Amino acid sequence: MENKLHNYFSENDFDFQEPHSGHLERFERKLNNDKQKQKHSWKWLSVAASIVLVLGFWLGSNHQKSQLHLADISPKMEEVENYFVTAINQELKTVEKNRSLDTETIIEQALNRLEDLEEDYNYFLAELNTNGNQTRLISAMIKNYQKRLEILQNVLDQIQQIKNPQILNDEIFI
């Protein structure tokens, strides 16, 4: 074993000389410079990220405050809007529970019509924010909700007829 170590060190040319004077100080200075550069880049990045976050929250809160909804007009309108939103969501859940291969096309057609009505509602909402409290816009928004609910109820009736075809036959013969 001793021979192997001795042979290894004698065959390889290792540098056993001392480094030049001041080597340790130069090495430490380089390490400290790298650390300072890293600290500065992180500080700048964190400051920029903080500014972006604060600006984003401020813009978001200002946008939400300036947006007028049907519920903001009066307490009665808030009641009406809550009623329709709750009823529509409940009907949507019922429709989704009854989704099957037989009812897929009917449901998809109804959902497409609901998306169109949602776009119309967003247009009415934009008009309400632009033109203010106008009774024709409020009436159109309420009719939009009624139309959505009517579509969902018709879909549920069609689903019941598909699931129970006897109901239709029994009603015809009565």
Which pLDDT tens digit goes with each residue over 138-150? 889 899 999 999 9
Q: 97: closest CA among 145, 89, 146, 147?
A: 89
At residue 172 the predicted structure's pLDDT band, cuts being 50, 70 and 90, is: low
Q: 128: closest CA among 84, 68, 81, 174?
A: 68
Q: What is the pLDDT of residue 65?
A: 46
The better pLDDT of the pair 62, 136 is held by: 136
Judged against a pLDDT cut of 60, whether residue 159 lies above it is answered with yes
Q: What is the pLDDT of residue 174?
A: 46
Provide the token pair at 163.
């699931």
- pLDDT, tens only, 23-51: 788 888 887 776 655 555 556 556 666 66
Q: Is the Cα torsion angle 66, 70, 75, 81 positive or negative in sign?
A: negative
Q: Quote the pTM value.
A: 0.57
Lowest mean pLDDT among 50-64, 81-95, 99-113, 154-168: 50-64
At residue 120 the predicted structure's pLDDT band, cuts being 50, 70 and 90, is: very high
Provide Rg for the chain, Cα atoms: 36
Calpha distance 8→101 (Å, rounded): 79
At residue 134 the predicted structure's pLDDT band, cuts being 50, 70 and 90, is: confident
Q: Is 128 exposed, middle or buried (0-12, 13-18, 19+ CB in 10 A)?
A: buried
Percent of the chain past pLDDT 90, that is, above it, reads: 14
Q: What is the pLDDT of residue 170?
A: 52
- pLDDT, tens only, 44-87: 556 666 666 677 766 766 555 456 676 777 788 888 888 988 99
